[in-house]
Structure 1
Amino acid sequence: MNGLRYSFAEQRGMLLALAIFIIMFALYLANHPAGFTPNVVQTAANKGVLLALVAMAQTFVVLTAGIDLSVGMIFILANCLASYLLVGTPVTVALGVGGVLLTGLACGALNGLLVIYGRLQPIVITIATGAVFFGIALWIRPYPGSADGFSAELADALTGKVFGVFPASLLFLIALVLLVWLPFRRSVIGRAVYAVGSSEPAAYMSGVPVMRAKFVAYVLSGLFAAMGGLFMTFFTYSGEASLANGNTYTLSSIAAVVLGGVSLFGGRGSAVGAIFGALAFRAIGDLLFVFDFDPLWQPLFQGVVLLLAVSLGSARLFQVRNRLDLFT
């Protein structure tokens, strides 16, 4: 019984995000003019996966009790870079995808090294690096567009439907969870990331590789943000150095992480919860669109829903006297 209660308490945020997503998405489908069709689900899945990838990127850093305000700009940089590199034969397209992902890894590695050896707050470091990444994106793609000969085959394969029914982007996201997140969560370095977020001094005194854990978290954050940028390119067939989009995805990723039950104190939560948080946040926006809400009121309504969800998920904070109780 105690084990079940502990498991429920541990997954409460994720379950809340899942419940919000199911309710909002059901209302969205019930009121959509086209109803429940593969095309409607495909479009919603593609938009949800974009934010889910950036939210996963944010999760790795938040678990270390940090925050990455550059994920949106890495997302934009990858989008602009991919619009140039995904051209030609399948081999050159594959090399282009590899180049974009390596760029994301490099951006994350730079963030990690600056945070670890610069000994500054992550929020300060990532604001600065985010500005640099956006400047590079603007230099690469000063005007929206794509290179001549842009290959749409891969884009169509990853944003289309499998067997004409199931969204391919959702399958890709599930594969990432199974092949990347779950092995990471169960690995030594994954447990080290949680330990660092719970209490960095205690983790250090226990022999946990603190610096390596932080570095891996930032590297994976850059990688997943770059994946999000790739999917934006697949979805739009173009690249755009949009400061507004970069900031929106950064802030939305934080909202999705919190909504998904990942603690901003670090050491608690999962990428799966962040995914459901992202899908729920997207479903709220889609629902407002279907109900034809005035765009001026939409941010207010989304903020109220998010505030209520976060308040419910954080209710336990009022029941503990010692922060360590959150991790026991």
Structure 2
Amino acid sequence: MTTSTAERSTPAATKSGRLGPLAAVGGQNLSLIAALVVVLGLFGSLNGNYLAWANVQVIAETVTIAGLLAVVQTVVIICGGLDISVGSQAGLASVVSAMVFTSAGASPWAGMAAAIGVGLAVGVLNGVIIVYGRVNPTIATLAGLAAYKGLAQLVSGGRAQGYVLNDDIFIFLSRGKIAGLPVMVWLLILVAAAVHVLLKYTDIGRNIYAIGGNDTAARLAGINLNKYLISAYALAGSVAALAGILLTARTGSGQPVSGSEGLELQSITAAALGGCALKGGKGGIGGTLLAVALLGALQNGLTVQGINSFWQNVAQGSLLVVAVVIQQRRSGERAVGLPA
């Protein structure tokens, strides 16, 4: 009997050893890597400059702002929520950073601090409305999408505000490089790494997954759901403000709408493509970053080929639908309107 058990366990152990690295990467991530390789190969064959280092840096810079929002969108979704207002928050923070910089004796730090403060405030407001107002996260943040966009337009008069590229700090953020990579990309890497560690290696992260997976069980286990949900939205608001600051640095002025519109869809698409279950409890930063890279490579490839930019929106919307369909199929849930 002992021999038989050993014989049965040996192949399994061997198989586990062989598939260990693949299992660590994950099937979802492997699919994204394969898709990214296909996109890079396709556009690289169509245009010799597509895979040049200069264009790779352009792709990396282009996805930085959407990538920051996708990282915190991942946290919110894992927690069982959704934040449709992150793009508008970035736009509001962009305007605030530029206007305060212009009016505070040309102090970039004052502008950035004000922007982060505004982002934190609207993030907490989202969380409070959802938790204590008992409003569905989609409805609450959809309202925030309109309200924060309107607020940004009101304080700016609907126009770009200020000029920041006469300041060394903003110039460094927009054009500086460290070890050959743009500063903006390093900021994305640092934020993503910090959030990854938070989710995977701390009790806070484990509690976030628990809340998204089964909020009733999490509550019975003594986890303070209200505190975690509000904190998740506060984090989203703060990082959205950082994205707004980078938007200001990149464009040279505060942008109430231009540059931030559509970022919420990009962040949700990246999170869903990266493996986040929209009902919560599942997802990770690695998959989200791969999805951000895939979306950026696809967008840049279409631009390089001179394809109408409207098709980029079509492609992005289609990818979101595909990601959700795949999630539904994998979960085994009955499709709406169809027999079991």
TM-score, structure 2 as length reference = 0.82
| In structure 2, distance between residues paired with 1:266 and 1:137 | 31
Secondary structure class of the residue paired with 2:109:
helix
Residue 107 of structure 1 aligns with which residue? 122
| In structure 2, distance between residues paired with 1:306 and 1:136 | 29
Q: Using the TM superposition, name which of 252-261 and 85-94 deviates more.
A: 85-94
Q: Shift of residue 33 of structure 1?
A: 6.0
| In structure 2, distance between residues paired with 1:165 and 1:90 | 33
2:297 pairs, out of 259, 264, 283, with 283
TM-score, structure 1 as length reference = 0.85
Q: Shift of residue 177 of structure 1?
A: 2.4
Q: Using the TM superposition, name which of 150-159 and 273-282 deviates more.
A: 150-159
Q: Shift of residue 107 of structure 1?
A: 0.9
Asked if 1 retains the 8 angstrom alpha-carbon contact of 2:69 and 2:267, the reply is: yes
Residue 12 of structure 2 aligns with which residue? none
| In structure 2, distance between residues paired with 1:208 and 1:10 | 30
In the alignment, structure 1 residue 129 sits paired with structure 2 residue 126:
no
In the alignment, structure 1 residue 42 sits paired with structure 2 residue 57:
yes
Q: Using the TM superposition, name which of 174-183 and 112-121 deviates more.
A: 174-183
Asked if 2 retains the 8 angstrom alpha-carbon contact of 1:57 and 1:71, the reply is: no
Asked if 1 retains the 8 angstrom alpha-carbon contact of 2:269 and 2:320, the reply is: yes
The amino acid of 2:97's aligned partner reads A
How do residues 76-225 of structure 1 correspond to structure 2 at under 5 angstroms? Answer: 76-87=91-102, 92-147=107-162, 151-160=166-175, 162=177, 165-225=180-240
Q: Using the TM superposition, name which of 32-41 and 187-196 deviates more.
A: 32-41
| In structure 2, distance between residues paired with 1:305 and 1:149 | 36
In the alignment, structure 1 residue 56 sits paired with structure 2 residue 75:
no
Asked if 2 retains the 8 angstrom alpha-carbon contact of 1:284 and 1:302, the reply is: no
2:89 pairs, out of 71, 74, 81, with 74
Q: Shift of residue 231 of structure 1?
A: 1.2
Asked if 2 retains the 8 angstrom alpha-carbon contact of 1:79 and 1:230, the reply is: yes
Unpaired segments of 5 or more residues in structure 2?
Answer: 1-14, 335-340
Asked if 2 retains the 8 angstrom alpha-carbon contact of 1:256 and 1:281, the reply is: yes
CA RMSD of aligned residues (A): 3.0
| In structure 2, distance between residues paired with 1:101 and 1:11 | 35
| In structure 2, distance between residues paired with 1:90 and 1:314 | 54
| In structure 1, distance between residues paired with 2:199 and 2:106 | 29
Structure of higher CA gyration radius: 2
Q: Shift of residue 164 of structure 1?
A: 7.4
Question: Which structure's relative contact order is higher, taking Cα pairs within 8 Å and 6+ residues apart?
Answer: 1
Count of equivalent residues: 319
Residue 266 of structure 2 aligns with which residue? 252
Q: Deviations over 1:61-114 (max 9, x none)?
A: 111121111111101111111222335999921222122111111111111111
Q: Shift of residue 181 of structure 1?
A: 3.6
Secondary structure class of the residue paired with 1:264:
coil
Residue 268 of structure 1 aligns with which residue? 282
